[in-house]
């Protein structure tokens, strides 16, 4: 068998492999496209901001509670920090009110069920 004969006999196998590779490659490309295009919804962005604010507030309050035993002014300092960051929450509140009612309700339910909200509620007691 000549070199040309070997190449011709291997050609159907190579074509089959190339077709399968192209098919798999296109499938992976489509998956990457659809996954990448999902992005975050407005509710996800709002929830993330609320979570960050609440976690920051929890840290401030826990620190103030620990310091309040020796320094009564610690709670006043904590309130000042919370009030400074509360301005950010005013913007979030406006964005929540701009959402349709059903999406507001879904976001409210998600917040109530969050671990950070339960932790924040426990600090009030």
Q: Which of 33-37, 40-44, 64-68, 73-77 is least confident? A: 33-37
**In angstroms, what CA-CA distances link 50 with 6, 26, 117?**
67, 39, 10
Asked if the model's pLDDT at residue 50 lies above 60, the reply is yes
For the chain, the domains span 1-39, 42-124
pLDDT value of residue 37 = 55
Helix ranges (H only) for the chain are 3-38, 42-68, 74-97, 101-112, 115-124
User: pLDDT, tens digit, for every residue of 58-110?
Assistant: 888 888 888 877 887 877 788 888 787 777 788 888 888 998 999 889 988 98
> In which band, very low, low, confident or very high, does the pLDDT at 44 lie, cut at 50, 70 and 90?
confident
User: pLDDT, tens digit, for every residue of 20-30?
Assistant: 554 544 455 55
């Amino acid at each position: 068998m000549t070199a040309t004969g070997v190449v011709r006999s291997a050609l159907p196998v190579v074509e089959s492999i190339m077709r399968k590779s192209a098919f798999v490659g296109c499938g992976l490309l489509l998956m990457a496209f659809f996954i990448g295009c999902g992005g975050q919804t407005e509710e996800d962005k709002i929830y993330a901001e609320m979570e960050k604010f609440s976690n920051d507030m929890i840290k401030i309050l826990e620190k103030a509670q620990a310091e309040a035993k020796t320094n009564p002014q610690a709670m006043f300092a904590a309130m000042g920090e919370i009030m400074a960051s509360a301005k950010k929450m005013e913007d979030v509140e406006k964005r929540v009110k701009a959402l349709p009612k059903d999406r507001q309700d879904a976001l409210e339910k998600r917040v109530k069920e969050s671990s950070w909200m339960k932790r924040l509620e426990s600090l009030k007691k």
